[in-house]
Amino acid sequence: MARVCEICGKGPRFGHNVSHANNKTHRRWYPNLQRVRVLVDGQVKRLRVCTGCIKANRVVKAPRGTAAAGVV
Q: Find the distance separating the first CA and the last CA of the chain, reported in whole Å.
A: 29
| pLDDT at residue number 65 | 79
- pLDDT band at residue 1 under the 50/70/90 scheme: low
pTM confidence score: 0.78
The helices-and-strands tally (H runs, E runs) of the chain is 1, 4
Contacts of 2 (CB under 8 A, 6+ apart): 11
Q: Is the dihedral of CA 35, 38, 41, 43 positive or negative?
A: positive
Is the pLDDT at 55 greater than 70, yes or no?
yes
Task: Calculate the dihedral angle through the C-alpha atoms of 47, 52, 54, 60, rounding to the nearest 10 degrees.
Answer: -80
| pLDDT at residue number 23 | 98
| pLDDT at residue number 67 | 59
pLDDT tens profile 11-36:
999 999 999 999 999 999 999 999 99
